[in-house]
Every structure is written in C-alpha cells, then in structure tokens.
Structure 1
Amino acid sequence: MIRSKLVLAAIAACLLAPFAANAQTLPDLAGKKVVVVTENAYPPLQFVDPKSGKQIGWEYDFMNEIAKRLNFKVEYQNTSWDAMIQAVADKQYDIGMTGITINDERKAKVDFSDPYMRNEQFMLVRGDESRFTEAKSFAALKDGLIGAQPGTSPFYTAVYSVLDGNEHNPRIKLFETFGATVQALKAGDVDVVLTDGTAGKGYVEASEGKLKLIGGPLGTEDFGFILAKGSDLVKPVNAAIAALKADGTIDALNKKWFLDYKIGQ
C-alpha cells in the first residue's frame, strides 16, 4: 500500500475539483455500524503511534470525519495487505483503507470510492547511499536489490519502470508487509524500497537521518477506499469525500499530517 518539496507538491495536488456538497445534504446512516479494516503500515496515513500505542493517522482522521458527517459508528479492524482486498470483496469488512491505489485489476474484485488523495512513488534508501541517485543508475547497479510486497503498486513499478519487466527478477526481494521491506532496507538486506510519498515521508521523519528519498517521482496514483461490489455505502462515502474536499477539511488534514506532525514526538 510516500518529504521534500516534491512530495508536498504531490500531496497538495491530491484531489480533483471540489464539489458543491455540504454537511446539510449528506445522507444520514442512522448510527449503523460500519467495519473498516486497515493494515496500520503506512505512516502518516495509518500506523500505531510508538508513544501511545494508539492507531492514528491521516486516514483515521478522515474516516472518523466521514463517519461523523454520515452518522455511522465506525469499528476498526486490522488485517494484512495480501488478505484485505479479497476479505472486503467477501464482505468480511465494509470498507478497506490503507492507501490503496485505484486500478482496473482491483476494480474487477471490489468497488472503489472516489479518489481522496493523489500521490507519487519515490525511491527510499539508506541515508548514506551514494552508489545511485535515481532509477536508471540503480538499474545499472547489477547487484542492487529492491524490497517489495507482491501485488502492490511499488512492486509493479519496480518490475516495469525500474528493472526489466520480469516479475520474477531475482533482484526483487519479496516481503509480507511494507514495514518489513523498510526493516530490510535499514538492515542492508535490500538497497531500495519504492514507496508512495505519504509513507516515505513518515519513515524518513522517524529515521533520524538513516533514510532518505531520492530521484524524481516514478508514477502517479490515486488512493481510494475499497468496498464490496454493489455496496450501498459507495454513494454516501463519495458524497462525504466531496464535502470534505469542498470545505477545506482535507487541506487541514494535509497540513496536520504532512507538514506539522513528527512521528514519535
């Protein structure tokens, strides 16, 4: 499921034109329970605060505001990324949120909300990395390794935009979680992790100089919530997203989580 001026520019451009929706026109879901699942692996979108142990982040704040506007009671649960899409498709959960890129392959299994964030992928490396500075020079480093979660946008970007298009390229080392790829990077087991701007900023800020983002953006992606096919929550959630775009709530969340917040402080 990635800050420098480049990243903040990507986040600032995160959404489409605002709509005229407002809180008075939103549907009322009459206090129904809505189960929302996440992985808690992408600071500052969603993660476990190292100081308090609480689940926090941009997406939690955003979903809580949607629940407030639509008058539903949100219940949060956790699962792994590789299980999430199918679990939502099977209606084990009502909504999935973990910085999920909207694409046609996933649309075959689940419905997406409208986009709530636009982001770009960058190369996350150790703070002292000097052998390469962008994708081309990394590709030329024959023994350089990339850590990735299978089936994610960073995995496919690594395959098709950085390396040679071979999904079984031995230079790609697979891990179950994004957090595990970052730990492998820190330990020197891989040399780069591709990450969206939101997650990358969180890890860089928390690393005390041990990690950095390099190179230009490698791809643009829109994030959306996932819901089961035909879910009656799609239209209300989209209406709430439109209202939160229009009234400045998203701008305030971007400032809070991408400009002001420092993980662990």
Structure 2
Amino acid sequence: MFRRQFLGLGAAVLAFGLSLCGTAGADPLPDLKGRTIVAVTENAYFPLNFTDPKTGEGIGWEYDAMNEIARRLDAKVEWKTSSWDAMIQAVQAGQFDIGMDGISITDERKKQVDFSDPYMVSEQFMLVRANENRFTDAKSFAADPKLFVGAQAGTTNYFVSVSDLLGGDDKSPRLRLFETFGASVQALKVGDVDTVLMDKAGAEGNIAASPDRFKIIGNGLGHDEFGFILKKGSDLLAPVDAALAAMKADGTLKALDKKWFYDYRAAH
C-alpha cells in the first residue's frame, strides 16, 4: 500500500509457512485463553488494509497478520475501522487494543503509544502518471515550481514529501493535502497533483490496479519501519512481539509478502 484470489502457489507457500508453527525447539507462545482483541485500521492502505470490492470485507496483509497472531495466541479479533487522523489518539485512550495502518515507528509517536517490533521496512517512492516526462526524480521535481505533490496530513508520506520534495517547507503552496490516502491517489490520476509518495508495495499495487495509468520514478526516499500500535503499558505487547518473532522465524511474514505483493497482483 494485488487483487484477491490467492490460490495455487501463493496459498501453498502460506500454508507451508503456517505449518511450521510449533516446530521442535520453538518456545511456546503466551496463551490468551480466548481473549478478544479489538483491532482497528483505516481500510485505505492497499495492499496492507483495504475493502474487497467483491465482498465489501476488509482484507490485506495486516488483516492476515493480525488474525494469525491471534490464532497463535489463542485469541479472537474484533475488527473496527477509524480514520487515520483519529487512530493513534483512539488507541492511546484505550478505545482499541491495537492499531495498524502502515504506521511508521517514530520517537514522537512513541511518546503517545507503544509500538510492536517492526513487521515491515519501507522506503517512499514517487508515483506519477504513466505519461509524466517533466521530471524524473526528487531533485528535478523540486526544481519546477509548477509541480504539486499530494499527501495525507500527519503521515510518513506527508513528512517525506515536505523534507525531500519541498525543501522542508510545510507551508508550500505546492503541497496539497487530502483527508485520505486514496483521495491523494485519485487526485494524481485526474491531474490535480503531479506525484504522490508511497512505499514500493503500495506504488506497485496502484500500478497493478490501474494498468497504463501510473509509474514509479527515481530512487527510494526515507526509510521507515512499520509497527502495530498499542496503549502505553499494554499487556498485549509482549505476546504480540512473541508471535511476530515466531512468524518471522518460520517464514510466515515472507509468505504474506508473497501473497499480497505478488500473487494478489498477478491474479487481478
């Protein structure tokens, strides 16, 4: 943040990864004894979390990862949705147990919430229209005052846009803000902005979703680690980290990468 239908090799790889759980030598995971974990996401960061256009249900990498964490911990997940700008505060206040939306781990956010161990590392890339030829990278974009970048306020995309494309000027008239990440991509599609920053998987997902409409230019910008967010002092932090470690060790996280970043895209 690649469409649904993840049968065949992708499902086989995922099943293989899951079958490795509890192999000899692995430490037993905490048992939450059927506890319900209230999880929240925005449903707007493809392919990490989004709405299946066929069923209307929330799907994606983070859904699968959280459901698998709960399964391993003998817990249940109750899914909720929230806007991005309210999510961190809601988790901080205890309205939800755990939140996810491709949230970058930062020192500032650590003052508000606890983060799980990282589950994904991301760089930001410039998504542009497929016929774009006025600029080829961040430097040439910055040099042309007629170009605009779209972003969702408070996100990693926003901060990297300001620092790497606009010289640190968060008041620049070249910065156009949108309420959702999807709205910024739509603005790029129709020509209201000239680039939107996003992680490589998300950029490739949008290219796959709209063939011949988008492309990626330039090199990666910034370097971010994504983590789940929990209320300060949450007793779920250690169990979630333990499950994540097991899923990394047995190949499940890589299997989820393959499922959502490659197989889903190839099928749709």
The two structures have a TM-score, normalised by structure 2, of 0.89
Which among 30, 39, 42 is matched to residue 27 of structure 1?
30
Deviation at 1:198, TM superposition (A): 2.3
Which among 123, 126, 136 is matched to residue 126 of structure 2?
123
Residue in structure 2 matched with residue 154 of structure 1 by the alignment? 157
Residue in structure 1 matched with residue 19 of structure 2 by the alignment? none
Q: What SS class does the counterpart of residue 265 from structure 2 fall into? A: coil
Instruction: Say whether residues 1:213 and 2:213 are aligned partners.
Output: no
Residue in structure 1 matched with residue 66 of structure 2 by the alignment? 63
Amino acid across the alignment from 2:95? Q
Instruction: Say whether residues 1:222 and 2:225 are aligned partners.
Output: yes
Residue in structure 2 matched with residue 98 of structure 1 by the alignment? 101
Superposed counterparts of 1:35-46, under 5 Å: 35-46=38-49
Q: What SS class does the counterpart of residue 261 from structure 1 fall into? A: helix
Instruction: Say whether residues 1:132 and 2:129 are aligned partners.
Output: no
Which among 242, 247, 258 is matched to residue 261 of structure 2?
258
Instruction: Say whether residues 1:141 and 2:136 are aligned partners.
Output: no
Amino acid across the alignment from 1:139? A
Output the CA distance in 2 between the equivalents of 1:198 and 1:98. 14
Q: What SS class does the counterpart of residue 225 from structure 2 fall into? A: strand
Considering only aligned residues, what root-mean-square deviation do their CA atoms show, in Å? 1.7
Output the CA distance in 2 between the equivalents of 1:179 and 1:240. 31
Output the CA distance in 1 between the equivalents of 2:47 and 2:88. 21
Kept in 2, the 8 Å contact 1:206–1:263? The answer is no
Deviation at 1:107, TM superposition (A): 0.3
Output the CA distance in 2 between the equivalents of 1:59 and 1:146. 27
Which among 41, 45, 50 is matched to residue 47 of structure 1?
50
Deviates most, 149-158 or 236-245: 149-158
Amino acid across the alignment from 1:261? Y
Which among 227, 237, 257 is matched to residue 240 of structure 2?
237
Deviation at 1:130, TM superposition (A): 0.8
Deviates most, 170-179 or 43-52: 43-52
Output the CA distance in 2 between the equivalents of 1:22 and 1:99. 32
Q: What SS class does the counterpart of residue 212 from structure 2 fall into? A: coil
Where do 5+ consecutive residues of structure 2 fail to align? 3-22
Structure 1 pair 264/120, CA: closer, same or farther in 2 (3 Å)?
A: same
Which among 162, 176, 179 is matched to residue 176 of structure 1?
179
Residue in structure 2 matched with residue 112 of structure 1 by the alignment? 115
Output the CA distance in 2 between the equivalents of 1:159 and 1:178. 16
Q: What SS class does the counterpart of residue 208 from structure 1 fall into? A: coil
Output the CA distance in 1 between the equivalents of 2:197 and 2:232. 30
Kept in 2, the 8 Å contact 1:22–1:247? The answer is no
Which among 70, 75, 83 is matched to residue 72 of structure 1?
75
Instruction: Say whether residues 1:185 and 2:188 are aligned partners.
Output: yes
Residue in structure 2 matched with residue 166 of structure 1 by the alignment? 169
Q: What SS class does the counterpart of residue 147 from structure 2 fall into? A: coil
Which among 168, 179, 202 is matched to residue 205 of structure 2?
202
* Alignment length (residue pairs): 248
Deviates most, 51-60 or 169-178: 51-60
1:158-201 deviation per Cα after TM superposition (whole angstroms, max 9, x unaligned): 11111121111111001111001001111111000011122212
Where do 5+ consecutive residues of structure 1 fail to align? 4-19
1:186-241 deviation per Cα after TM superposition (whole angstroms, max 9, x unaligned): 11110000111222121111011101111100011000000000000000000000
